[in-house]
Structure 1
Amino acid sequence: MRFLTKISGLSAIALAAAGAANAQDSLGNLEVIGKPTEKSLGFQPAATELARDLQGLDNMILVIITAIVIFVTALIIWIMIRYNSKTNPKPATFTHNSPLEVAWTLIPILILVFIGAFSLPVLFKQQTIPTADVTIKATGYQWYWGYEYVDHEFGFDSYMLGHPATLTDDDDGVEPFVRSADMDALLERNGYASEDFLLATDTALVIPVGKTIVIQVTGADVIHSWAIPAFGVKQDGVPGRLAELWFTAEKEGVYFGQCSELCGKDHSYMPITVKVVSEEAYQNWLVDAKEEYAGLDTPLTLASK
């Protein structure tokens, strides 16, 4: 990935010198859908089947555990009233109650079996990786993400907007990692709102809507974690290992995520931005991206001797 990054960087510099536009500029303004909302409860809008499954499972378990809490609380209150020293001055002398003991053993088992009958299919669906329409390798670095479109042999790095790596001579007033009017202006120049500070990146992962996306996740130095709440996906990236996750985004828009594994001092400055676009827009972006990041129309092949 670092080799590809160097090639991408040299290509990007050459194109910039020639006045070429950034490939992502052609995507236009997309609605921001998946993002945290201040002082809100609940989940972000589900944008995939996996996210809907997880949210439905969570709602079902919430009902079950709420009923258990109410029952246990009512039972404790009833025991406090019925068996306190005033209302029951002479305590009972029995040591056990076999039917009751069987009941409080079997009922929790049945509840767990019921929950497992719904949760295990959701887990198996996440872990069964389908055939990909688009395969992307995501590598976590301290503290940014590197993406490689493995089918087209190009890649790029993705830094949080406001990171020193994203600043140019036009951003003299911007202090890295600090919210300010200059930082807001930087976000707006890149097509984001000021409240997207700490969420937006200089380059976003671009994927087509309605297609099966497989993300191969790994780490280059320490353990990182690639997570998009609105997609219902989260996968640790462990150095030396390659894990996979999948999803199919159902609505065009911008979705934000974060590295979700504590990975060092700048862990909180390692966001993820995904732009879901139409198939036509994706194909147009792909043409520009191959040129900008030195990608290939076909995979590399070895010449025969």
Structure 2
Amino acid sequence: MRLKTMIAGMIPAFLSAPAFAQSDEVIGAPVNGGMGFQPAATELARDLQWLDGMITVIIAATTLFVLGLMIWCIVRYNQRSNPKAASFTHNTPVEIAWTIVPILILVFIGSFSLPTLFKQQEIPEGDVVIKATGYQWYWGYEYIGEDFSFDSYMIGSPATGGDNRYTDEVEAQLTEAGYEPEHFRLATDTQVVVPVGQTIVMQVTAGDVIHSWTIPAFGVKQDGVPGRLAELWFTPEQEGIYFGQCSELCGIAHAYMPITVKVVSEEEYAEWLTQMKEEYASNDAPRAVEVASAE
């Protein structure tokens, strides 16, 4: 299916039905010169961001304490202030303190980080299950139990008639799809669509080399390894468009295989499913790459 799709994809087509409108607000996207995390759109992302903030506070406090201790020792025990140096081999209370205190800090951090890790790894039963397969250099998606699948290419990639560079033609495709110019190398011709408030389980694998499926605003990242099937899950809490990228160096065009996820209402999702089944279900014939329309 990959070869057929790539050959057929050289003929760009602007069909709106299966791709569904992309006029929603873009929420999960990188910001040029920005600092910090993208807005958290799932419970997992909120947990990760809170954990990062807590650990940052602990690290900052430890750094300031050690810095203050060093300055105090320099001032208090320099040759001018302390011309006659003391002579001793050990200090039991200090040695106990610098052993016990770090242990307590690590136990405290672990009491929060381990539950967060386990929550990510304990995969619940999914309301929607999607298999994501990474290829050089695009993603293939199969909606398990819905009998359809599709491939997702970066707008401006060779499969959509471009050469991975920003041109007038690529700008026209982005505009036709409802994107802005800054979404180049983030937007795909066909996006993953999921319903808001539902548990989504992604089955991640790869068809050639190792890839990685990542959406920062969802707090998820999972390597796709050929011959293995890994899983991640998330429950999106806000409708909108979210961007991700392959996060495992996978070849010369690694930078050009983005991920686009659109979160919609349950009613919109049901309508989208109907459209996609009509277009892609049990369809083995080569197809052109559709660029989503905002009409």
TM-score past 0.5 threshold: yes
State the distance in 2 between where 1:39 and 1:21 align. Answer: 34
Q: Where does residue 303 of structure 1 map in the other structure?
A: none
1:164-175 matches, cutoff 5 A: 164-167=158-161
- The answer on 1:147 being equivalent to 2:141 is yes
The TM-score normalised by the length of structure 1 is 0.87
Q: Where does residue 32 of structure 2 map in the other structure?
A: 38
State the distance in 2 between where 1:268 and 1:20 align. Answer: 26
Q: Where does residue 118 of structure 1 map in the other structure?
A: 112
1:275–1:96 distance in 2 versus 1, CA, 3 Å = same
Which secondary structure state, in structure 2, belongs to the residue aligned with residue 24 of structure 1?
coil
1:61-140 matches, cutoff 5 A: 61-140=55-134
1:288 is displaced (CA, Å) by 0.7
CA contact (8 A) 2:212 2:246 kept: yes
Which secondary structure state, in structure 2, belongs to the residue aligned with residue 129 of structure 1?
coil
More helix by share: 1
CA contact (8 A) 1:289 1:295 kept: no
Q: Where does residue 19 of structure 2 map in the other structure?
A: 24
State the distance in 2 between where 1:122 and 1:114 align. Answer: 13
1:5-43 Cα distance to aligned partner (Å, 9 max, x none): 959998x99xx7xx9743123x35110000001111111
- The answer on 1:280 being equivalent to 2:267 is yes
Which secondary structure state, in structure 2, belongs to the residue aligned with residue 63 of structure 1?
helix
1:89 is displaced (CA, Å) by 2.0
Which secondary structure state, in structure 1, belongs to the residue aligned with residue 164 of structure 2?
coil
Q: 1:43 is matched by which residue type in structure 2?
A: F
State the distance in 1 between where 2:16 and 2:65 align. Answer: 63
1:20–1:230 distance in 2 versus 1, CA, 3 Å = closer
1:158-198 Cα distance to aligned partner (Å, 9 max, x none): 1111001012xxxxxxx521123443222111111000011
Q: Where does residue 293 of structure 2 map in the other structure?
A: none
Q: 4+ residue stretches of structure 1 with deviation over 6 A?
A: 7-10
CA contact (8 A) 2:134 2:224 kept: yes
Give the percent of matched residue pairs that are identical in Structure 1 and Structure 2: 63
- The answer on 1:260 being equivalent to 2:247 is yes
Q: 1:61 is matched by which residue type in structure 2?
A: I
1:86–1:138 distance in 2 versus 1, CA, 3 Å = same
Q: 1:242 is matched by which residue type in structure 2?
A: L
